[in-house]
Amino acid sequence: MENVLFKRDERKCCVCDKKLFGRSDKVFCDIHCKNKYHSELRKHSQTASATTTKILNKNYAILCVLLGQNCKKYKVKKLFLESKGFNFQTISGLEKTTYGQKMKIYEFSWYYSSEDNIVVLRDNEQSKISPYVYKRWEYHYKKLESQI
């Protein structure tokens, strides 16, 4: 019994290291430390998700311009996509097929047909791209279309 009491007396706030009193599962000494902890936690998680979203949107824009509005399938060199800033490590989904893995970014998916070639597909089940989205990214990536 003495060991349990001794351990309870050693508990400290995880933010400011003040000694804790009260409930056995208490983690923070007061509401200010609790708010500070959760504020820092939220800031880090929002930064990580914002970075990932930015990369996904850039990849999506590149694929939108590459396939246009009506194209369902396109074969392209990996080096070409890399030169446009496409990030192959950030994806929104992964699908196993009999031929290997298909990486996804929203309604687009791609797989490696060889070491340096990639086949990009648009999923028919997904909703169509808004013409406004296409128009916006077309403006930013006119150089991309001229090189295709």
Percent of the chain past pLDDT 70, that is, above it, reads: 76
Q: What are the extents of the domains in the chain?
A: 2-147
The pTM (predicted TM-score) of the whole model is: 0.56
* Residue 4 φ then ψ, to 5°: -65, -45
Type of residue at 99: Y
- The Cα–Cα gap between 80 and 119 comes to 13
What integer best gives the mean pLDDT of the chain? 78
Task: Tell me the pairing of strands 108-112 and 93-97.
Answer: unpaired
Across the strands, what pairs with 73?
Answer: 121
Q: Which positions ≥6 away from 40 have C-beta within 8 Å?
A: none
Query: Is 116 buried (19+), middle (13-18) or exposed (0-12) by CB count in 10 A?
Result: exposed
Cα–Cα distances in angstroms (integers) from residue 60 to residues 7, 63, 105, 128, 143, in the given order = 53, 5, 7, 13, 16
Q: Are 124 and 72 contacting, i.e. CB atoms less than 8 angstroms apart?
A: yes
pLDDT of 7 reads 53
User: What digits encode the pLDDT tens for the residues 59-116?
Assistant: 888 888 887 766 778 888 888 888 888 888 888 888 888 777 888 888 888 888 877 8
